Copies of this chain bind each other. A is one copy, B any other.
Amino acid sequence: MIQSQEKPDRVLVRVRDLTIQKADEVVWVRARVHTSRAKGKQCFLVLRQQQFNVQALVAVGDHASKQMVKFAANINKESIVDVEGVVRKVNQKIGSCTQQDVELHVQKIYVISLAEPRLPLQLDDAVRPEAEGEEEGRATVNQDTRLDNRVIDLRTSTSQAVFRLQSGICHLFRETLINKGFVEIQTPKIISAASEGGANVFTVSYFKNNAYLAQSPQLYKQMCICADFEKVFCIGPVFRAEDSNTHRHLTEFVGLDIEMAFNYHYHEVMEEIADTMVQIFKGLQERFQTEIQTVNKQFPCEPFKFLEPTLRLEYCEALAMLREAGVEMGDEDDLSTPNEKLLGHLVKEKYDTDFYILDKYPLAVRPFYTMPDPRNPKQSNSYDMFMRGEEILSGAQRIHDPQLLTERALHHGIDLEKIKAYIDSFRFGAPPHAGGGIGLERVTMLFLGLHNVRQTSMFPRDPKRLTP
């Protein structure tokens, strides 16, 4: 066991650097035993390091005894080993490894951390495409087994790629916004009042009182706008106590939130948000092509398409498209999930884009703080954004006038006492502003064409799952 006894000079070479440039060099490598196969006086190991792997050969001879071959063959899969070996060019490419041109001729092998002999799931099963599993009658791994054994499931090339790309989404989001002059803020998650009417909120015991978990950072983002920060963003957990067991709902997810003061029209903000999304899509396609292709191997999917500038449709246009396709909907009805999906298909067909904005939602289906459209009292200055036919962002111009805000809260039957601090924030001069909140896991899921948001949350939380 490595307990930091010493600091040896030994250099560990990365598996991805084992190429013909290193042929005939003696190297040390630390990696997992992905598979092992004994064959007479030889043992073939596949050594894995993240998404890279290399073949290693332990053969009875000058450097290895019979005992050593036996020892190597008996190391449990997923154990971590330190191996000293010579890099040798191979005559025939090794198709099953990422390092196809070389193998490692092992001289020494030490177990750094031994895995237990029985794995709760096999990594090869966990990356097998569903279709292949069905056709060939080979095992795949169901979602609960994956999630119950997440530490192993996250080791697959698919999971490594998904979460590296997700890290990239956060990075691109911030990079874009910081370049646009935004300031990052940190907003509290424990709040004193359930702000939006009190539904779907988790209660926390707070010393001798009760408190709540924030359903969004929106009120705090808005306070920052009233406090002259002008353009702010934050990335953090948001909590929804909804008993929804669907492919796209979690009780805790990561919100990418934006709020921004504007000069004359909320489209200034809407366009900044849409451009931020476009910069994320471009950045992912430029910097994460390997990850996209890795995920595609298991979950085949069309490349994500988008337009520049982003397509904007008004709600009434969308209604017309849906009605033409046979859907019956009232002017002030909200979109159901199937109708969202259908609309996504219709938009893709007509405009060839997987990303678009739906603007001017009916006022009736939006929260009380949404600014009404001054030209049509049934409409509002609000928008959603969609990826592959599913909503990933909801946003709006917010009411910045305390009197109108009070009227709208009363209209929605909200207890004014509970939102007093919020309304008071607008009493000392508030610039017009708009913003929106993006669900990180949904963006990852839909960009990659995956089908369940639990695939893009490392440790998902839903009404039935709180572990690991």
User: Which residues on A are within 8 Å of B, measured CB to CB?
Assistant: 1-8, 10, 12, 30, 32, 49-50, 78-80, 112-116, 119, 150-155, 159-160, 163-164, 166-167, 170-171, 174, 178, 183-192, 202-207, 209, 211, 213, 220, 223-224, 226-230, 235-237, 239, 241, 243, 251-252, 254, 263-267, 371-375, 381, 397, 400-401, 404, 421, 425-432, 440, 457-461, 463, 466-468
Contact = CB atoms under 8 A, between A and B. Distances in A.
A237 to B, nearest CB: 5
A235 B78 CA distance: 30
Nearest to A266: B4
In the A-B complex, the 9 residue pairs with the closest CB atoms = A154-B227, A192-B466, A115-B429, A2-B432, A167-B184, A3-B374, A115-B428, A4-B265, A421-B468
21 contacts: A1-B432, A3-B374, A3-B432, A4-B267, A4-B373, A4-B397, A30-B263, A78-B428, A113-B431, A151-B223, A154-B229, A159-B227, A164-B183, A167-B185, A171-B174, A190-B252, A203-B204, A203-B205, A204-B205, A206-B251, A220-B458
Nearest to A49: B228
Nearest to A456: B186
A318 to B, nearest CB: 20
A184 B207 contact: no
A256 to B, nearest CB: 11
A189 B251 CA distance: 11
A381 B428 CA distance: 53
B374 A207 contact: no
Nearest to A457: B186
A209 B205 CA distance: 13
A237 B191 contact: no
Nearest to A3: B374
A294 to B, nearest CB: 14
B440 A7 contact: no
B206 A204 contact: no
